[in-house]
Amino acid sequence: MDNKDTYLLNFKDYNFESSLVDADFIENLDDFEIRDDDVFIITYPKSGTIWTQQILSLIYFEGHRNRTEDLATLDRIPFLEYNIRKMDFLNRPSPRLFCSHLPYYLVPKGIRSKKAKIIYVYRNPKDVMTSYFHFSNLVVTLEAGNDMEHFMKRFLDGNVFSFGFVIRDLRSSVLKISRFLEKELSEEDVEAIVKQATFQNMKSDPKANYDEILKHEIGKRTDEGHFLRKGTVGDWKHHLTVEQNERFDKIFERNMKNLPLKFIWDLNKE
């Protein structure tokens, strides 16, 4: 492992958030036993991870859906590589739900052998970068983004830790995920999930967002700002100059030209 700086810990060419990761756990991650009914949300940071956590929590846990259980999303679906609450993963009852920012080559071999169910979440990288920029200026465990030009260079050079699915039709997304997970939901269940999984409802629900965790367990640079910011498509247009956007496009097309994914860059121009 290589401590590149105060904020990043490099292991096998991947940058971890150094203050939150357990190096011993990461070094032995390939031996982590995967169960057949485990479910993993795999995302790049700032790609809709918490949104997907909330949807899965509402699908799997009736007590969360009908608000009879008082448990935070992070306790229901913890991060595999960032065990902030020091949970006993091995003795968690099935089905175990996890989320992770790990790249494919670092996830436990049981996941690579398709033993568990995987929900891969991706988002257009310009909005990822924009969201990441604001987030880095909020959280004390990340190097501050300063201005967009400075942060964009770091982002494109890979000097950040670690693309999210864009939820346009919540009902459709809930139904697709529930079918993939083979979970039968009533019409009433679907409506309850859709209502509670709207971005604004999540933003105002301390159990669904990470504001309290950020404030008391991770640390904020300022009292202003929230873990969940906008949740919109195309916000990058308000932050990138014409020159920055053109430069980003050239690098993206050069490095990602064979990527078999369709990105939604702007809801008005699909």
Catalytic positions are: 101
Cα–Cα distance, 136 to 145 (Å, whole number):
6
Token readout for 120 is 């891969």
Both tokens of 143, joined, read 């190097």
- Looking at the DSSP bridge assignments, the partners of residue 139 are 220
Three-state SS letters, 106-162: HCCHHHHCCCCEEEEECCCHHHHHHHHHHHHCCECCCCCCCCHHHHHHHHHHCCCCC
Residue type, 61: F
* Neighbouring residues of 151: CB distance < 8 A, sequence distance ≥ 6: 129, 132, 133, 136, 145
Structure tokens at 87: 């949970």
Query: Could you tell me the two tokens for 147?
Result: 């201005």
Whole-angstrom distance, CA of residue 136 vs CA of residue 134: 6
